[in-house]
């Protein structure tokens, strides 16, 4: 097991200087900060609907250096996160707990005491161990997924906790099946793994007796994963899709030594993201929270820097916009949508919903029409509602099964609570394996 250690002062200084010029090039300039207001407006809500949405937002706001303004909002978010821990305790998944630790531990605030008093890092070590045990028993399938396992390793690494670097080196080999969903490489999963592996690599380099074999394997993994991420770059600069691009940007910021400048035009990516923001694309708090830090030159590796978080360029931090409520002055028109459930057979129905409805609204309307064929259950996650079962058939990590959303036969990059449907859409939920 890797011993608990504290980086020497020189190591911390070098660690703080590592982010490359790519961060500065991609960072949104102060004169166009107003373009980020929709993200902030989405993130600031009086109540969050999942156990980790408040942690997502708290982590993002602290990273970008907004904590010195709007202190009431920050404290309210912090309190929501602490209340979640006290209410849910060990019922949290490993990734949820890791995210909470990152949010509470960011920027050296009083919340660090809460992490210590609640023994959160010790609980995370145990949950990570349980993930590994499940993988041994169920053909390499974790209790959660590799995105959450990467969050686990990142949190344990940043806060100098115990883990096996040899296990990490084996666990995150690029050929592992857990990087793929339906045969497609998951960019955000790969990106979170790059962040975690980069932290482990830097930590190993600071040890007087570094495990050279592990370090070499980990660096090779980073190099391969970065190439896989870049292979998913689209012509408009998005990487994977617009919701995976934020994680990909963070991963590429911290791994610039593994690719050439010509392989990624970060300005193009930034500009496309700003265009998507102006069109209301990031209307889920978790999505807004993930894209905001890289737009301001920050990554999750900044969580435990030696000094409190400050705005990347040293200028004034963003201001949270004043929320306004707009009352609709018209009644929405109705649209017709074809909806199908596909398991071994296909069950279809045509439903009518108001224009502006999302996929979930269609499923609810279908369930009203026929509660046997179209019944479903849903859980609220940080990225919005997630379909857990249809017709009583429940998704299972150990079996690598899930309910895939499609429109016109094509998989959706948005969730069931955010994909806006249109008249004549042909929507499907498909029982699938990943």
Query: Has residue 374 been placed in a domain?
Result: yes
Q: What's 106-142 look like in SS3?
A: CCCCCHHHHHHHCCHHHHHHHHHHHHHHHHHHCCCCC
Query: Has residue 127 been placed in a domain?
Result: yes
Q: Of 278, 302, 326, at which residue does a domain stop?
A: 302
How far is Cα 379 from Cα 373, in angstroms, rounded to an integer? 19
Determine the pLDDT at residue 7.
33
CATH number, domain at 361? 2.170.130.30
Closest to 191 (Cα-Cα) out of 216, 227, 159:
227
Determine the pLDDT at residue 229.
98
pLDDT beyond 50 at 312: no
How far is Cα 420 from Cα 408, in angstroms, rounded to an integer? 14
Q: What is the pLDDT of residues 18-56, one digit of tens each?
A: 444 455 568 888 888 889 999 998 888 656 767 788 999
- In the predicted model, what is the mean pLDDT of the chain? 86
Domain identity same for 290 and 340: no
88 SS3 class: helix
Closest to 354 (Cα-Cα) out of 419, 421, 279, 416:
421
Average pLDDT over residues 275-298: 91
Q: Are 67 and 106 in contact (CB under 8 A)?
A: no
Determine the pLDDT at residue 28.
86
Binding-site residues: 144-148, 188, 241, 290, 386-387, 403-405, 412, 434
Number of domains in the chain: 2
Query: Has residue 309 been placed in a domain?
Result: no
Domain identity same for 286 and 346: no
Query: Has residue 357 been placed in a domain?
Result: yes
> Where is average pLDDT lowest: 91-105, 146-160, 327-341, 371-385?
327-341
Determine the pLDDT at residue 346.
95
Determine the pLDDT at residue 66.
74
> Where is average pLDDT lowest: 250-264, 312-326, 394-408?
312-326
400: Cβ contacts below 8 Å, ≥ 6 apart: 141, 433, 434
Domain identity same for 282 and 235: yes
Q: Of 279, 302, 325, at which residue does a domain stop?
A: 302
How far is Cα 374 from Cα 350, in angstroms, rounded to an integer? 12
Domain identity same for 139 and 47: yes
Displacement of CA 175 from its chain's centroid (Å): 21
Domain that holds residue 264: 20-302
Q: What is the pLDDT of residues 263-285, one digit of tens each?
A: 999 999 999 999 999 988 888 88
Q: What is the pLDDT of residues 61-118, one digit of tens each?
A: 999 887 555 678 888 889 989 998 998 878 899 999 999 999 999 988 889 999 999 9
Q: What is the pLDDT of residues 384-427, one digit of tens each?
A: 788 999 999 998 888 888 999 999 999 988 889 888 899 999 99
> Where is average pLDDT lowest: 91-105, 293-307, 312-326?
312-326
Q: Of 302, 321, 342, at which residue does a domain stop?
A: 302
How far is Cα 52 from Cα 345, in angstroms, rounded to an integer? 36
Domain identity same for 344 and 294: no
Q: Are 335 and 403 in contact (CB under 8 A)?
A: no
Categorize the per-residue pLDDT at 218 as very low, low, confident or very high, splitting at 50, 70 and 90: very high
Query: Has residue 202 been placed in a domain?
Result: yes
Binding-site residues for cyanocob(III)alamin: 144-148, 188, 241, 290, 386-387, 403-405, 412, 434
Domain identity same for 366 and 277: no
Which pTM was predicted?
Answer: 0.81
Domain identity same for 369 and 271: no
CATH number, domain at 134? 1.50.10.20
Domain identity same for 292 and 388: no
Query: Has residue 323 been placed in a domain?
Result: no
Query: Has residue 42 been placed in a domain?
Result: yes
Domain identity same for 234 and 358: no
Domain identity same for 379 and 298: no
pLDDT beyond 80 at 353: yes
pLDDT beyond 70 at 198: yes
Looking at per-residue pLDDT, the higher value among 10 and 315 belongs to 315
Domain identity same for 278 and 342: no
pLDDT beyond 60 at 211: yes
Query: Has residue 316 been placed in a domain?
Result: no
Domain identity same for 296 and 176: yes
């Amino acid at each position: 097991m890797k011993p608990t250690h504290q980086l020497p002062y020189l190591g911390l200084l070098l660690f703080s200087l590592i982010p490359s010029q790519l961060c500065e090039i991609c960072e949104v300039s102060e004169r166009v900060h107003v373009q980020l207001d929709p993200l902030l407006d989405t993130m600031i809500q009086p109540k969050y609907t999942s156990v980790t949405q408040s942690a997502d937002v708290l982590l993002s706001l602290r990273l970008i250096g907004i904590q010195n303004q709007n202190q009431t909002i920050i404290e309210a978010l912090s309190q929501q996160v602490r209340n979640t821990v006290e209410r849910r305790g060990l019922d949290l998944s490993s990734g949820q707990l890791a995210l909470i630790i990152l949010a509470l531990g960011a920027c050296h605030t009083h919340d660090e005491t809460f992490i210590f008093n609640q023994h959160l890092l010790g609980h995370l070590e145990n949950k990570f161990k349980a993930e590994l045990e499940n993988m041994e028993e169920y053909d390499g399938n974790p209790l959660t997924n590799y995105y959450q396992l990467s969050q686990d390793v990142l949190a344990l690494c940043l806060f100098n906790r115990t883990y096996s670097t040899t296990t990490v080196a084996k666990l995150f080999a690029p050929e592992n099946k857990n990087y793929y969903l339906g045969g497609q490489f998951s960019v955000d999963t790969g990106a979170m793994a790059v962040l975690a592996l980069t932290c482990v690599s830097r930590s190993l380099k600071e040890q007087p007796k570094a495990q050279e074999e592990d370090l070499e394997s980990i660096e090779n993994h980073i190099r391969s994963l970065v190439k896989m991420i870049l292979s998913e770059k689209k012509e408009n600069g998005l990487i994977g899709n617009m919701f995976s691009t934020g994680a990909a940007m963070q991963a590429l910021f911290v791994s610039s030594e593994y690719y050439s400048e010509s392989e990624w035009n970060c300005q193009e990516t930034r500009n496309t993201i700003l265009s998507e923001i102006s069109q209301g694309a990031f209307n889920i708090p978790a999505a807004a929270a993930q894209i905001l830090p890289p737009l301001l030159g920050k990554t999750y590796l900044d969580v435990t820097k030696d000094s409190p978080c400050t705005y990347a360029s040293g200028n004034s931090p963003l201001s949270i916009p004043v929320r306004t409520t707009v009352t609709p002055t018209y009644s929405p028109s109705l649209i017709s949508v074809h909806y199908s459930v596909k398991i071994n057979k296909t069950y279809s129905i045509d439903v009518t919903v108001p224009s502006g409805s999302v996929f979930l609204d269609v499923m609810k309307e279908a369930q009203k029409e026929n509660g046997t064929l179209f019944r479903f259950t849903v859980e609220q996650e940080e990225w919005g509602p997630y379909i857990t079962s249809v017709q009583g058939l429940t998704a299972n990590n150990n079996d690598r099964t899930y309910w895939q959303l499609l429109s016109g036969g094509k998989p959706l990059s948005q969730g069931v609570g955010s994909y806006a449907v249109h008249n004549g859409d042909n929507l499907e939920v498909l029982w699938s394996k990943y």
